[in-house]
Amino acid sequence: MSKLFFFIAILLASSQVSHSQFGGLMNKVKNKVQQRADKKVDDQIDKGLDKAEGKNTTPAPTYPAAANADASATAAPANTLKSFSKYDFLPGDSILYAEDFAQEEIGELPANWNTSGTGEVTTLDKFPGQWLRLHKQFVYLTANKKEFRENYTMEFDVILQLKNNGWMFPEFNVGIFASGDQPNTDNEFLKEYNKNAAVVARLLPGGNNDSKVSLASWLEKNSYYTSDIKAYESLNKSYGLPVHIAIQVQKERFRMWVNEDKVFDAPKAIPTGVIMNQLLFNVSHTNYPEDQYAVFIGNIKVATGKPDTRHKLLDEGKFSTTGILFDFQSAVIKPESYGVVKEIAGVIKENGSLKVKVIGHTSSDGDDKANMELSKKRAAAVKDILTTEFGVDAARLETEGKGETQPIADNKTKEGKAANRRVEFIKL
């Protein structure tokens, strides 16, 4: 900056520089300064995206054999769910499909997925596990093979690695569709996923707190439902961070949460008379080159059924849930567990004589002893949340950890592992 002032002083002292010439030189100086500033921003963007792709000199962290979520017994910090105090999402009680990409080869598209372009599994230096990177203008179909029925839920995490450089950001779309009699990964659905019936939610990231969301559905390619385009400024605060998306379908009703915010509640959005059986993802066109943006998805879970916490705990004496989620390799409860924990707390508090044992379970991934200890810590963390944030009397709660000793599903499948990572509530 001192060099700039010195240069200007020389110009002012010179009688041979006209007013117009001076103005032109000043504009060149300003442009040069702006170019240097822009280059610094571009360099920071490149470094950030290089890290996300594993190109930086600091390698992405490595984890136990299958990047599993059950292999550590490290101490957990204090829990808090208050940031999701408005969150009332309740996941289905029977897992249909789960995908965390833990067993997929780095740099490749996941097995049994289909896409109109390319995509690759990767690790990130700031976030655990493995993620699938999506690219602009391509559609992605999952490896799910099961029908979703009438009532079902979907959850996943998405990271929008975006830095404003003047162009429009790419849209991120998530949808469900019915393939009818055809295989749900057929190439035809990469172009016409609305052939039979489909519902697609759009996240439209903005550069200046002007992000938006919208929802649309189709029946036999014809428009069935179209929402208004809704402002959603909170999305801007989450660029570069995992965003939790939760979807709940109850017959015709479609509800969707982005983190703690319910962005859609459409009673008649789902076409009737069709059975959905596939989940799709799409990133729209953008002028940003591949090294200046990135979109990653992970931790996908589809579950069916409408959980009845009260009946199962009071009448059947046991309620089991995979909806209480924990940070990777720890007993820290994720804030998106709020709806489930609140539901359980309500049942306990409304029944003054009810006493409950909280039991933690894990899959078979990782070390047996570590899993046992981790399951105990997770059960204790649930008790702590129930007492400190929901006012349940601690004397009415006991805790126990079972580790991987009582599986309810096959630990050789992704869906089985997800089902085994659960918390049980037993009536005493």
Q: What is the pLDDT of residues 200-216, one digit of tens each?
A: 999 999 988 899 999 99
Instruction: Find out whether 342 and 91 touch, Cβ atoms under 8 Å.
Output: no
pLDDT at 16: 42
Rounded Cα–Cα distance for residues 324 and 68 (Å): 17
Q: For residue 282, which phi and psi values (nearest 5 degrees)? A: -155, 140
Residue 304: name the closest of 407, 425, 150, 87 by CA. 150
Q: Cα–Cα distances in Å, from 198 out to 145, 181, 237?
A: 17, 15, 30
Contacts of 87 (CB under 8 A, 6+ apart): 257, 260, 335, 336, 338, 339
| pLDDT, average across residues 341-368 | 93
Number of other CB atoms surrounding residue 91 within 10 Å: 27
pLDDT at 29: 40
**Predicted confidence band at 118 (pLDDT cuts at 50, 70, 90)?**
very high
| pLDDT, average across residues 3-25 | 42
Residue 395: name the closest of 428, 350, 373, 361 by CA. 428
**How does pLDDT run across 272-286, given as a tens digit for each residue?**
989 999 999 999 999
Contacts of 34 (CB under 8 A, 6+ apart): none
For tokens 């921003």, what's the residue? 41
Is it the case that residue 376 has pLDDT exceeding 80? Answer: yes
The lowest-confidence range among 25-39, 82-96, 272-286, 375-389 is 25-39
Helix-then-strand count for the chain, H and E: 6, 20
Q: Residue 127 corresponds to which tokens in the numbers above?
A: 């976030």
DSSP 419: H
Is it the case that residue 11 has pLDDT exceeding 60? Answer: no
DSSP 109: P
For tokens 């969707």, what's the residue? 256
Provide, for the chain, the percentages of residues in helix, strand and coil under a 3-state DSSP scheme, each rounded to the nearest 5: 25, 30, 45
Residue 133: name the closest of 53, 23, 249 by CA. 53
Exposure letters 264-276 (e unless 16+ CB within 10 A, then b): bebeebbbeebeb
| pLDDT, average across residues 227-250 | 95
- Average pLDDT of the chain is 84
Exposure letters 384-409 (e unless 16+ CB within 10 A, then b): bbbbebbebeeebbebebbbbeebeb
Is it the case that residue 127 has pLDDT exceeding 90? Answer: yes
| pLDDT, average across residues 234-247 | 95
Instruction: Find out whether 419 and 316 touch, Cβ atoms under 8 Å.
Output: no
**How does pLDDT run across 287-311, given as a tens digit for each residue?**
999 999 999 999 999 999 877 888 8
| pLDDT, average across residues 131-145 | 97
Is it the case that residue 71 has pLDDT exceeding 50? Answer: no
Cβ-count burial of 318 within 10 angstroms (0-12 exposed, 13-18 middle, 19+ buried)? middle
**Predicted confidence band at 80 (pLDDT cuts at 50, 70, 90)?**
low
Rounded Cα–Cα distance for residues 79 and 388 (Å): 9
